[in-house]
Structure 1
Amino acid sequence: MYLTPKFHIEGTDQLERLSRSSADLWNQICTWYWRTVDRQNHWLSKTATRRWHCKGHGRLPSQTAQEVAEQFYQAVGSWHDNDRRGNPPKRCDKEYNVLRWTYQGVTLRDDGVLRLSTKRGEDSILIDWPVDEEPRTVEIGKSSGGFVVRAQYDTEPVDRTTGDKIAGIDLGEKHLAAVFTGQDAFTINGGELRALRHYQNSLKAKLDAKIDRKERGSSRWTKLVQTKNKQLDHIDNKITDLLHKLSRKVVEMLLERRVSAIGIGDVRGIRDRIDYGSQMNQRLHQWAYGEFARMIEYKAKLAGITVERVDEAYTSQECPQCGHRKKPSGREYACSECGFRGHRDVVGAANIRRRYVAKRKYVGNDNSSRLPGVMASPSGVRFHPHLSCSSRSERKTNRQFA
């Protein structure tokens, strides 16, 4: 598997010039691609586009220029895969565009510095690299405070598991994750993420209202747009930091409980099936379940934990003791048939775990096929800026009881 570190670097005149050249090439490809479609009803192939627009580019290295065409055709392919719904990639007069190098143009020197190839006669781009492994691809994109580097490199998982327990994870909006291991349960509170999303939406609405009152292209309009992008980028970074810390905490708590396999509820496609009103729809459409699940998945695999997605349909409505289905109205699930009671999200996690066990025909330490009549309240983890991401840290983790 591979990891993608992300870090910021200061801007240079060379990066500014290359990023602008990449944007010019993107706009040129867009213009001629759609002009050919409109006038000749012909869809240009990637090979033809690279031959006409990328080969022998005046400013960009050959491979970097070809990667611009690759970005464009990936966007076109995504539009086709989505049955041509939404807007296709069009000429948008980009000022900056992402620069991408493949492994042929990347060299890791002995002093831990990456050397990125450029045109003959120009100085190579040098970047301090914090990892011993040479990356497969490197991307450099413009940000409000300079440039952002993203680089992928291969890594091997290290098995840190010490037991054979199985856990089920139910993803949610109020609780980002509810985890049931067969013996105990815990939840990850999503209040901080909801607060950040609420602030992000209100800030965007406030700045958009100010921007709309200014003349487009004026100095005041430009400053407001820059301010908006900078502040929204700052919030996005805080959200990413939150998700990384909480997903790391989930994996560490699973390792503490001797878990070696987990089933994660698969909620992909839920946005296409929901309609709970404008405000609730907005919250659900901004629900970071995909990113959070991905973070848990790759961090768990790095620790040697087996991960599999499990269909989560009706898991929060099905009684884990008798199988009766009932849609709960609050945070507590109460079965009207057998009298079972428990936290609704943990009930979902327990059913996801049971489906995973049945699917894998698991034979091992699984003595919890039937749960007691009353499920114990789960412990809860809240986010705070200095949340410990390691179970071996001496810092205390704030807890609450759901």
Structure 2
Amino acid sequence: MSTRRGVAGRSAAAAGERVLTAVVPVWLDRADHEAAHRGCHASALLWNRCVAWLREEWRAGRRPGREDVRRFVTALPAAERPVHAHTAQAVAYDLWDAVETARARRAGGATGVRLPWREKAYRPLVFTRNFGWRTGPAGGLSLSLGRGRRRITVPLPVFTDREGVVVDPGRWGEITLCWDGDARMWALHVSYRSSVGTAPDSPAGRGEERVVTVAVDEGVINPLTLVHRAPDGVHEVTVINGRSGRSIKRGRNKAVGRLSSMMSRCRNGSRRHRRLAAAKRKTRSRAKARLRDFNHQVTAKAAEVVRAAHDRHQGAAPDGVTVVVRVVVGDVRGIEQRTARRRRVHRSTRQQLSQWDRGTHEHQLAYKTGLEVEHISEAYTSQSCPRCGRRRKVRGRWYACGECGLRLHRDAVGGVNILTLADNDGTLVPVGPSLAVRVTYLRAQPGWGPLQRALHSRHQRARGRAGAGRRGSP
């Protein structure tokens, strides 16, 4: 999220609102399509010019700031920035956001982080409210490319919020016109205000507070495992299954690999080569849309668990006590890096790690709950028994302790130990014989398991043999 949108997001949060984004596909005629492509190329050239100027300033020993970058862009002649003035400012602000993000990562101890340096050939167009975009009297949406240039006109987007209510243009903010290279289509990313319940974090200036910690163990098979201590002292564990996401990725990888193999036997530019390239783009586009929905389903269920934990503790708290929530995630950042060089795991596992959506899940969970995600080292959390502290290697999905007899799901063991680390300042302290765990399994997306499908087909065959016909047939 850029600085200009971040300020709006903070003011909306202060008013009990959130800033969300809706993605609406649009169709452009040939003239608008070409104008939008020229604008995206011009926006990329502005980015490249700003990066070159900023690095030249650094080499000269000067320390320009955010507004200095904006003034440099706006001072360019109109012929050298053939986009709307606010679109050019958005380029400057996004560049400075990238600089601040890189500096924050360096300050946090991340290695190999570089300040913006790579040149771009294409960049989305940003249109601000009342200046970059306006609604027409006939119900259309006009996107301005600058004074003296032809506007891009599209039908007014119609979409609903999470409560199923149509979002009026009066609630819209910035609009971004993006090109999807895989789907070969344009889409409008419309930001809007929405009243969405969030779990409160630590507020200032209130009375007595009670902090509830929600620990999150991330994984490839089960994306998120959330653990918190219920008011009755039982460890509530929620395991969100992610096998449907793995299935989507595996199907995409196999299809793309097969198409790439077929393309390698074709002459570049031939009709068959072009058709196979189009098929590969279509495969990636479909998988990306399905994974986007899957990730939102995962994080939406996780956000519901966080809010439910807050509501349960708030209902059990005495009068005058405010319950605040803290989200702590086991730190696995960077685990996917340099695996090919180290040869620590099999190549199929390396592929799964490189395609892991861990960062997306953390970002969306923080956004949907309104809480800051903290990281804590999760070393040996899946190998240590949360009851007696004995450490052993685990094979399979279940942890069985030979010392105290505890048998528990492997991800639940990791989540309980992460919760213990968060509550004891990074020290792994066994809970003891009083450990009580209640595990709940959730599917990220509604669907049937293999056993359910088998039983359903058997039931349908039995109905057919009995002459009852299939479901829905007369």
TM-score (norm 2): 0.64
Q: Distance in 2 between matches of 1:73 and 1:250?
A: 32
Query: Which residue number corresponds to residue 202 of structure 1?
Result: 254
Moved more, 311-320 or 172-181: 311-320
Query: Which residue number corresponds to residue 216 of structure 1?
Result: 268
Q: Distance in 2 between matches of 1:215 and 1:79?
A: 42
Alignment pair present for 1:284 and 2:338: no
Q: Distance in 2 between matches of 1:294 and 1:78?
A: 14
Alignment pair present for 1:325 and 2:391: yes
Query: Which residue number corresponds to residue 19 of structure 1?
Result: 36
Equivalent runs, 1:3-402 vs 2, <5 Å = 3-25=20-42, 50=73, 55-57=78-80, 60-65=83-88, 67=90, 83=112, 89-90=118-119, 97-103=123-129, 105-106=131-132, 115-121=142-148, 122-123=150-151, 125-126=153-154, 127-128=156-157, 130=159, 131-132=167-168, 134-143=171-180, 144=183, 146-153=185-192, 158-159=197-198, 166-182=213-229, 183=234, 184-257=236-309, 258=312, 261=325, 262-272=327-337, 274=339, 275-301=344-370, 306-314=371-379, 315-359=381-425, 369-370=431-432, 372=434, 375=437, 378-384=439-445
Asked if structure 2 preserves the Cα contact closer than 8 Å seen for 1:26 and 1:69, the reply is no
Query: Which residue number corresponds to residue 163 of structure 2?
Result: none
Asked if structure 2 preserves the Cα contact closer than 8 Å seen for 1:25 and 1:53, the reply is no
Q: Distance in 1 between matches of 2:425 and 2:140?
A: 47
Query: Which residue number corresponds to residue 162 of structure 2?
Result: none
The aligned length equals: 372
Q: Which has the larger radius of gyration?
A: 2
Q: Distance in 2 between matches of 1:174 and 1:116?
A: 43
Q: CA-to-partner distance for each residue in 1:45-68, whole Å, 9 max, x for gaps?
A: 967984797733585323335555
Q: Distance in 1 between matches of 2:43 and 2:141?
A: 26
Q: Distance in 2 between matches of 1:226 and 1:76?
A: 36
Q: Distance in 1 between matches of 2:49 and 2:338?
A: 38
1:210–1:373 CA distance, 2 compared to 1 (3 A) = same
Q: Distance in 2 between matches of 1:219 and 1:150?
A: 34
- 1:281 deviates by 0.9
Q: Which amino acid aligns with 1:120?
A: R
Q: Distance in 2 between matches of 1:347 and 1:327?
A: 13
Structure 2, gaps ≥5 residues long: 1-8, 10-18, 160-166, 201-209, 314-323, 454-474
Q: Distance in 2 between matches of 1:229 and 1:198?
A: 16
- 1:244 deviates by 1.0
- 1:235 deviates by 0.6
Asked if structure 2 preserves the Cα contact closer than 8 Å seen for 1:321 and 1:373, the reply is yes
- 1:190 deviates by 1.5
- 1:159 deviates by 4.9
Say which SS state the counterpart of residue 174 (structure 1) adopts. coil
Q: Which amino acid aligns with 1:381?
A: L
Asked if structure 1 preserves the Cα contact closer than 8 Å seen for 2:400 and 2:407, the reply is yes
1:172–1:35 CA distance, 2 compared to 1 (3 A) = closer
Q: Which amino acid aligns with 1:203?
A: A
Q: Which amino acid aligns with 2:268?
A: R
Q: Which amino acid aligns with 2:395?
A: S
1:337–1:270 CA distance, 2 compared to 1 (3 A) = same
1:113–1:340 CA distance, 2 compared to 1 (3 A) = farther
Asked if structure 1 preserves the Cα contact closer than 8 Å seen for 2:43 and 2:83, the reply is no
1:25–1:255 CA distance, 2 compared to 1 (3 A) = closer
Q: Equivalent pairs: percent with the same residue?
A: 22
Q: Distance in 2 between matches of 1:207 and 1:230?
A: 11
Q: Which amino acid aligns with 2:328?
A: G
The alignment's C-alpha RMSD in Å is 4.4
Q: CA-to-partner distance for each residue in 1:368-389, whole Å, 9 max, x for gaps?
A: 954646755x2322244579xx
- 1:169 deviates by 1.8
TM-score (norm 1): 0.73
- 1:221 deviates by 2.8
Asked if structure 1 preserves the Cα contact closer than 8 Å seen for 2:74 and 2:88, the reply is no
Q: CA-to-partner distance for each residue in 1:255-286, whole Å, 9 max, x for gaps?
A: 44526623332322222375312111111111
Say which SS state the counterpart of residue 336 (structure 2) adopts. helix
- 1:170 deviates by 0.9
Moved more, 291-300 or 228-237: 291-300
Q: Distance in 2 between matches of 1:79 and 1:207?
A: 37
Q: Distance in 2 between matches of 1:165 and 1:174?
A: 27
- 1:16 deviates by 0.9
1:221–1:33 CA distance, 2 compared to 1 (3 A) = farther
1:317–1:204 CA distance, 2 compared to 1 (3 A) = same
Q: Distance in 1 between matches of 2:102 and 2:272?
A: 35
Say which SS state the counterpart of residue 244 (structure 1) adopts. helix
Say which SS state the counterpart of residue 79 (structure 2) adopts. coil
